[in-house]
Amino acid sequence: MSDGVEAGIEATVTWRPMREADLPIVAALEQASHAAPWTQGNFRDAFAAGYGTLVGELDFNVVAYGVLMLSPGEAQLLNLTVAAPTRRRGLGRRLLRRLLADAMSLGAEQCFLEVRESNHAAIALYLREGFAPVARRVGYYPAPAGASRREDALVMRRHLGRDAHG
């Protein structure tokens, strides 16, 4: 989509920390978006562990969310999801950039993530945003429906800070 359309939707999205009340809709979006979705309990555990969370609302509906785990000097992006009807409008990039800015403000020097090798759209986004592949986790993800073998994960890393991309 054009930058004007992306700017238009971005201007109407409200970003805020995820709340307990968001969990049913976030879990439903997760179920609709992923072959091995997180449960409400997984999101509740993320809250309990103090992970960073962010949701984007459009017309009072949650359309994007992310979960970021911080540890000394680094962050790990655990979940970044955009609802299907609002994909390809720049929300994933905006959400990723917001989470990375939060990580940098809290002292992270690098960020890691894992992504299914078949998720070409996500891999392309991460590459454009300065992530680079650093490893492969063989058989990391459960087999997608109809597949007989587990799927590998691509581990990616991005350095954060003044000299980093973005």
Q: What's the confidence (pLDDT) of residue 34?
A: 85
Active site residue 117: no
Burial class (CB in 10 A: 0-12, 13-18, 19+), 163: exposed
- The domain limits of the chain are 3-159
Q: What's the confidence (pLDDT) of residue 100?
A: 96
Active site residue 114: yes
pLDDT range class, residue 4, cuts 50, 70, 90: very low
pLDDT range class, residue 1, cuts 50, 70, 90: very low
Rounded CA gap, 43 and 27, in Å? 8
Q: What's the confidence (pLDDT) of residue 10?
A: 54
**Catalytic pick from 6, 74, 114, 117?**
114
- Integer angstrom CA distances of residue 6 from 3, 9, 70, 87, 101: 5, 5, 29, 11, 20
pLDDT digits (tens, 9 = 90+) for 37-86: 899 999 999 988 999 999 999 988 999 999 999 998 999 999 999 998 88
**Catalytic pick from 51, 65, 126, 141?**
126
Superfamily of domain 3-159: Gcn5-related N-acetyltransferase (GNAT) (3.40.630.30)
pLDDT digits (tens, 9 = 90+) for 129-165: 999 999 999 988 887 777 788 889 999 999 997 555 5
160 vs 4, residue with greater confidence: 160
DSSP for residue 143: P
> What's this model's pTM, rounded to 2 decimal places?
0.85
